């Protein structure tokens, strides 16, 4: 689970998201996620952000 902040005019909203890790990922490999955030305003602005997650050994 990871969290991110969304700016809403004069304040921020904290949202949570989660994803399932593939079973065949190996230590040191990266997973690239593309997040899509869309507002509910009249202009319907959409923003995309890449998040890279690297699997570390425990």
- Shortest CA distance to 32 belongs to which of 8, 10, 48, 44? 48
For 37, the token pair is 């955030």
pTM score: 0.55
Q: Does residue 19 contact residue 35 with C-beta atoms inside 8 Å?
A: no
**What string of pLDDT tens digits covers the 58 residues of the chain?**
556 666 666 666 666 777 787 888 888 888 888 888 777 777 788 888 888 888 876 5
């Amino acid at each position: 689970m990871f969290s991110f902040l969304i700016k809403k005019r004069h304040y921020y909203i904290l949202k949570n998201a989660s994803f399932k890790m593939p079973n065949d990922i190996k230590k040191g490999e990266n997973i690239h996620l593309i997040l899509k955030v869309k507002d509910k305003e009249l202009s319907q602005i959409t923003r995309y952000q890449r998040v890279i997650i690297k699997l570390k050994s425990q």
